[in-house]
Amino acid sequence: MSESGGAQPRRVRVHHLRQAKERGERITMLTAYDAPTAQIFDEVGTDVLLVGDSLGDNFYGHPTTIPVTVEDMIHHTRAVTGAVKRALVVADLPFGSYEASPQQAHATAVRLMKEAGAHAVKFEGGQRVAEHVRLLTSSGIAFMGHLGFTPQSENVLGGKRVQGRGEGAAERLSADALALQEAGAFAVVLEMVPAPLAAQVTEILSIPTIGIGAGPHCDGQVLVWPDMAGLSDWSPRFAKRYGRLREALTEATRAYLDDVRAGTFPDDEHSFAE
C-alpha cells in the first residue's frame, strides 16, 4: 500500500486504507501480540497489526477466545504499540466487554486507547452493534468491524463453521456490512464466508474489506501470525504457511539441550574472562 504519488506513508492512518481501496491496492494485515514480532512485521511494511483476542487460543492455551480479558488486551496492545513506527494498530474488544450497551463498548475502547495506545478498536457484530459503533466513531474512536464467522459467538454458531450460506444469509451479511459502514466503521473483516459473497460485499462497500478465509476478492487479507509463519502445530484450511518456525525452533532447542548436556555450552567464547 502506498500513499498518493507512490510514497509509503510514514504512519498508516485510516484514510490511507480507503485510498488504497480506491486505487485497487491490496491492504496487508497480521496479528501481533508482543514487541519483537510487531517490530519485525512493522519493519517489513505490514499496513495493519491486529492485537487480536486470538491470543487466547494461540498463546494462552485456551480452547477459545472467550476467556481473554480487557487487562490481557491492554497488556499486549501496549507491547505492540510501543514497538511500531508505521503500522496502524487495531485492538480487539474481548468477549463481555462491549455487548451490554454502547456505553460499555465506549468505556472499554477508551481504556485500550488511553492505557495501551491503540490506534483503533474492533469488535464483532453487525446491525445489532451499530449503535455501539456510532457512539465510538462520533467520539473520535476509529472502528473496524468483524462479520462472518465471529469467534466470540462460536458456541451459538455451532463451532468454527463457514457463514453466509443458506436462505437469506447473503442478504443479512450485506445488510450488516452496510450498517457498520453507515455507523462510521473504516473497514470490515470478513471471516470464513464464501468467496463470491465476500466479493459482493466488497463491491457494495466504499470502505475496505479485509478477508480471512473469504477468498481473493477482498481489499486486503489478514492471517494469525503463527499460522502464517508455521509456528502452530495446526492451521485452518484457509491459512497458507509462509515459514517453518515450529521446525526451526524445535531444531534450535534440541541443539541447545544437547550442548548443555554435553558441557560444550557455554564455552570460552561465551564466557567472561577475569
Catalytic residue among 43, 124, 191, 247: 191
Domains, the chain: 14-243 (3.20.20.60), 244-274 (no CATH)
CB within 8 A of 138, min separation 6: which ones?
184
Lowest mean pLDDT among 75-79, 152-156, 219-223: 152-156
Angle between helices 70-81 and 102-116 (to 10 degrees): 40
- What pLDDT does residue 158 have? 55
Collapsed DSSP state (helix, strand, coil) of residue 161: coil
* Cis amide linkage into residue 266, ω under 30° from 0: yes
Q: Which amino acid is at 4?
A: S
- What pLDDT does residue 154 have? 63
Range 82-88 average pLDDT: 98
* Residue 15 to residues 88, 172, 187, Cα–Cα distance (Å): 11, 27, 10
d(CA 128, CA 47): 29
Give the residue, 108 or 9, on which the prediction is more confident.
108
- What pLDDT does residue 2 have? 62
Mean pLDDT estimate for the chain: 93
pLDDT greater than 90 at residue 171:
yes
Q: Which amino acid is at 257?
A: L
Collapsed DSSP state (helix, strand, coil) of residue 115: helix
Reported as a single tens digit per residue, the pLDDT across 48-73 is 999 999 999 999 999 999 999 999 99
- What pLDDT does residue 166 have? 72
Q: How many helices (H) and strands (E) does the chain have?
A: 11, 8
* Residue 95 to residues 37, 87, 92, 142, Cα–Cα distance (Å): 25, 25, 9, 19
Give the residue, 268 or 203, on which the prediction is more confident.
203
Answer for the pair 136, 107: CB distance below 8 angstroms, yes or no: no
191 is catalytic: yes
All cell numbers assigned to 207:
470502505
d(CA 217, CA 210): 9
- What pLDDT does residue 4 have? 46
